[in-house]
Chains A and B, each alone.
Chain A
Amino acid sequence: MLKFLLQGLTRPPLTEAPPAPEDAELAALAARLQAAARRRLGRSLSIREVDAGSCNACELEIHALNNAYYDVERFGLRFVASPRHADVLLVTGPVTNNMRQALERTYNATPNPKWVVAVGDCAIDGGCFAGSAVVEGGVSKIIPVDIHIPGCPPPPLETLKGLLTLLEQM
């Protein structure tokens, strides 16, 4: 373990590795995001993720935002464990009948001011699950949505861009 810790001290972090094209894009985003987040929310934005019927692909890609390549915490974006601590609800899935109540309750448990980001094609209008009798067909049918991030699933960078757009709109 000592070896790993020492390597961690001596090696440059991955997030600053020589830029591939998308890494350059990420760096530019980071600067904009940091400025926007500071201006509107002091230093941070707390996000609560709610799966309202997704196939879990969106969850995997949202998870990836926390890995060393994207490392969203450096922008002040933080995933929190409770809606009580959240500024933003990041909602995925077409909203199943069985998740409707839980989503409403989570929304009501989130203190004001709050924003809702619908992530993924099926969160927008049900996507390929639209028309099913057991789904509501999109997050905005249940709670007010501030911004939609399309994609199936949106890659981490797209989600980051979406959050930036939200910050600039706030």
Chain B
Amino acid sequence: MPALHDIIREGRLIAGHRPWPRAMVSARQWQLAAAEAADGRLTLSGLWGDAGVVHMALLDEESGAAAVLSLECPEGRFPSVGRLHPPAIRLERALRDIHGLEPVDCPDPRPWIDHGAGAPYPFLTAEGDSLHQIAVGPVHAGIIEPGHFRFTANGETVVRLEERLGYVHRGIEKLMRGAMLEQGAKLAERVSGDSTVAYALAFARAVEAALELEPPPRALYIRGLMAELERLANHLGDIGAICNDASFAMMHAHCGILRERVLRAADGCFGHRLMRDCIRPGGVVKDIDGAGLALLEALVKDIRSYFPALVKLYDNTASLQDRTVTTGILKPALARQYGAGGYVGRASGRAFDVRRNIAYPPYDELEFDVPSLSDGDVNARVWIRIREVEQSLSLIEQMMARLPAGPVITTLPRCAGEGMSLVEGFRGDVLIWLRLGDDGRIARCHLRDPSWFQWPLLEAVIEGNIVADFPLCNKSFNCSYAGHDL
């Protein structure tokens, strides 16, 4: 049973990769690591291509250790990880489409991000009496992102759901190549708009890791405030939206009010409702003043007095509970296998939160709980988010009380380096890996959204549920299309 550091030790360590080690490994070690992930001893956290090289990020959740394994593929081929460990399959399909590297023996030969010139996509089949198909998307009925869902149903019961994604592919990783850091930060913030702060933070932390640099303490706390405001806004909005998908519009209306108040407070403090262009490598470019702190204080007080009645409303409405309890159950084993992050994992017994397990400042100095449940249904996912709203409020108060004085940004040296970061967004762990050239430009940047390990699980969760419960299941996952498609 080689542990993560044993695998790394057998490889050739690459200097200048921070904060976790990176090693060039042989094809045998590569497959050994894939087998460790398949056996559940390591968690696959990312798999991406580079010039003639593939990289695989692995986590040892118990010890909080992380590492990147790199394999050279001079012939443009590498042994498939997905062959042993299914969570890697879509990553490998995307890698083949975007980088032209071939995962040998990958179980799924179909393209993923590259939709080609209108060639028909071979959906998986389902056979049996009385089955019919329902095709939904890419343009949906609501104000949501584009993606295609192919349901095969027996009457009302879903027998198989297959997702087809890639509609929002904007080529962000290619745009990153050769970009200056400012442009890179802007692009990162626009990977998935609902996670603007999480991506800006992850990008900044990856750059800071590469340059071996720590931002001023005040900047760390202001980043924390922004991250928790973003979490609050998304959780509040989504709790209401999930109820709305069960036709309980009253909850949606009230939660929408609270979400709007969070966005207005963010606008008042930092000058942008979604806090865009606030976090940059080296610190933050928007400081918070006394008036801003007063706004936040009032916001926390407001939500504290408003939200409990909404929670009670959710809990005491039998017709709503009838829709959410036992609907869309994600089994804990699947959540573990896929390393599902965020509320999706935590509602199914995977109590992983980067803020706790691989703590980064300011969270290493703050007190908070990481709520976790094992029911894995829509109701459990709602409850995790309710609990996280409460935790975020407490975190905001703690950060305001401890907010250090001083500068908020430091200047960056111009040098080469490799850095990686893991940041807990509202949806789960965002991974960013990058390499900076001598000229200070981005040579390669990979951004992995938590949705990569959540989308496939939605297909499993809906099986045996009725078609009408799909919106509920989908909203309770709330995976990002844009974050996934890049």
Contact = CB atoms under 8 A, between A and B. Distances in A.
Interface of A: 1, 3-5, 14, 49-64, 66-69, 79, 81-83, 93-94, 96-99, 101-102, 106, 122, 128-129, 131-135, 152-153, 155
B47 interface: no
Contact of A67 (B115, B171, B257, B274): B257
A26 B464 CA distance: 47
Contacts of B482: 54-56
Given A14-B257, A54-B482, A66-B256, A59 B144 contact: yes
A153 B276 CA distance: 9
Contacts of A93: 168
A3 B254 CA distance: 13
Interface stretch (B102-110, B185-193, B342-350, B465-473): B185-193
Interface in B180-223: 183, 186-187, 190-194, 196
Nearest to A65: B143
Interface residues of B, number: 48
24 contacts: A1-B250, A1-B313, A51-B145, A56-B193, A57-B194, A57-B196, A67-B256, A81-B142, A82-B141, A96-B169, A96-B170, A97-B169, A99-B167, A99-B168, A102-B138, A122-B190, A128-B190, A129-B170, A129-B190, A132-B170, A132-B174, A133-B171, A133-B174, A134-B170
Rank and list the top 6 A-B pairs by shortest CB-CB distance, nearest first: A57-B193, A81-B141, A67-B256, A132-B171, A55-B193, A134-B171
A5 B187 CA distance: 44
Contacts of A98: 115, 166-169
B260 interface: yes
Nearest to B142: A81
B257 A68 contact: yes
A125 to B, nearest CB: 14
Contacts of B317: 1
Interface string B360-375: 0000000000000000
B27 interface: no
B128 interface: no
A67 B264 CA distance: 13
A58 B171 contact: no
A58 B193 contact: yes
B241 to A, nearest CB: 9
A142 to B, nearest CB: 14
Interface of B: 115, 118, 138-139, 141-146, 166-172, 174-175, 183, 186-187, 190-194, 196, 237, 250, 253-254, 256-257, 259-260, 263, 267, 273-274, 276, 309, 313, 316-317, 480-482
A60 B144 CA distance: 9
A51 B190 CA distance: 14
Contacts of B267: 155
Nearest to B233: A60
Given A69-B260, A128-B186, A153-B193, A134 B145 contact: no
Given A1-B317, A56-B192, A61 B257 contact: no
Contacts of A83: 139
A51 B193 CA distance: 13
A79 B144 CA distance: 12
B175 A132 contact: yes
Contacts of B254: 4
Given A81-B142, A98-B169, 11 more contacts: A54-B168, A55-B482, A56-B145, A56-B193, A64-B260, A67-B257, A68-B260, A94-B170, A128-B175, A134-B174, A155-B267
Contact of A63 (B143, B186, B257): B143
Contacts of B174: 132-134
